[in-house]
């Protein structure tokens, strides 16, 4: 009997934690009228160290709201405590959904966002997106993306990875989808190689985003 009570209590606690989590996410993704909502995707390139400064600078644009979607590998490169907005990852997607009436996070995020900028976009996720693969929160957001909304991508990889012929093929595929390339630059890379493959400067990315800012159509979902 006591054991049964304990089990029941544990189930109630888990359900309450679930409800609290769902409520927090729903509150976080409430659309503030008149703002342009920018979703930043971040992948496992060393250039992800720039995530805190990128988010901080985007927030300085007038009327812009920002959220982040991260891959698991990207987490190695930044300290979440230095990113002043909510960062969504795989765990949130799967913790949020336990029954049919629950929201599906990658769909909620694509509904929330007016613009998606993936910075950095590493070789792995570039390949996945070019081929329609959607095996994590970020690639699901991209696969479900409303292609009438801007999607900007900033490739970042080792020079030899960049020079591999598949990079040009995959980047051109993304351009065919209507996505906007913010080209990588030549520099001395963190691995010591020198050449093309470095992510565009944060100032370049922020300027590119600024060009796409306009008051969103509030009647759209």
Tell me whether residue 191 is one of the annotated catalytic residues: yes
Q: Which residue is nearest to ligand FMN (CB)?
A: 44
Complete edge-to-edge strand list for the sheet that includes strand 64-70: 87-88, 64-70, 36-42, 115-121, 151-155, 180-181
Choose, from 8, 134, 154, 191, the residue flagged as catalytic.
Answer: 191
CA torsion through residues 216, 206, 87, 56, sign: negative
In this chain, which of 55, 64, 74, 115 binds ligand FMN, going by CB under 6 A?
74
Binding mask 157-186 for ligand FMN (x = CB under 6 A): x---x-------------------------
The verdict on 46 binding ligand FMN (CB under 6 A) reads yes
Report the site for ligand FMN in 98-137 (rule: CB under 6 A).
122-125
Nearer CB in complex with ligand FMN: 65/170 = 170
The verdict on 43 binding ligand FMN (CB under 6 A) reads yes
- Listing DSSP states for 45-76 in one string gives SGGGGGHHHHHHHHHTSTTEEEEEEE-TGGGG
- Residue 27 CB, shortest distance to ligand FMN, in Å, is 28
Give, for 159, the enclosing helix (H) or strand (E): helix 159-163
In this chain, which of 73, 111, 143, 196 binds ligand FMN, going by CB under 6 A?
73
Question: How distant, in Å, are the alpha carbons of 57, 74, 170, 189, 206 from that of 40?
Answer: 12, 12, 20, 23, 11
Cβ atoms of 119 and 40 closer than 8 Å: yes
| Residues forming the active site | 191
Residues that bind ligand FMN (CB under 6 A): 43-47, 71, 73-74, 122-125, 156-157, 161
């Amino acid at each position: 009997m006591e054991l049964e009570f304990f089990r029941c209590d544990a189930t109630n606690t888990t359900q309450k934690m679930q409800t609290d989590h769902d409520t927090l996410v729903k509150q976080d993704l409430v659309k503030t009228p008149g703002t342009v909502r920018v979703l930043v995707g971040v992948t496992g390139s060393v250039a992800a160290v720039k995530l805190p400064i990128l988010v901080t600078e985007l927030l300085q644009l007038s009327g812009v709201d920002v959220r982040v979607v991260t891959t698991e590998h990207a987490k190695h490169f930044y300290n979440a405590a230095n990113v002043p907005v909510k960062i969504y990852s795989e765990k949130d997607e799967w913790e949020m959904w336990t029954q049919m009436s629950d929201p599906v996070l990658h769909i909620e995020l694509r509904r929330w966002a007016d613009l998606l900028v993936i910075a950095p976009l590493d070789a792995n996720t570039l390949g996945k997106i070019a081929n329609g693969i959607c095996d994590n929160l970020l690639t699901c957001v991209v696969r479900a993306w409303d292609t009438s909304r801007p999607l900007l991508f900033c490739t970042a990889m080792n020079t030899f990875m960049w020079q591999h012929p598949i990079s040009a093929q995959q980047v051109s595929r993304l351009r065919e989808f209507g996505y906007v390339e913010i080209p990588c630059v030549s520099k001395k890379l963190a691995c010591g190689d020198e050449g093309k493959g470095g992510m565009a400067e944060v100032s370049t990315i922020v300027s590119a985003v600024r060009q796409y800012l306009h008051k969103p159509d509030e009647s759209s979902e």
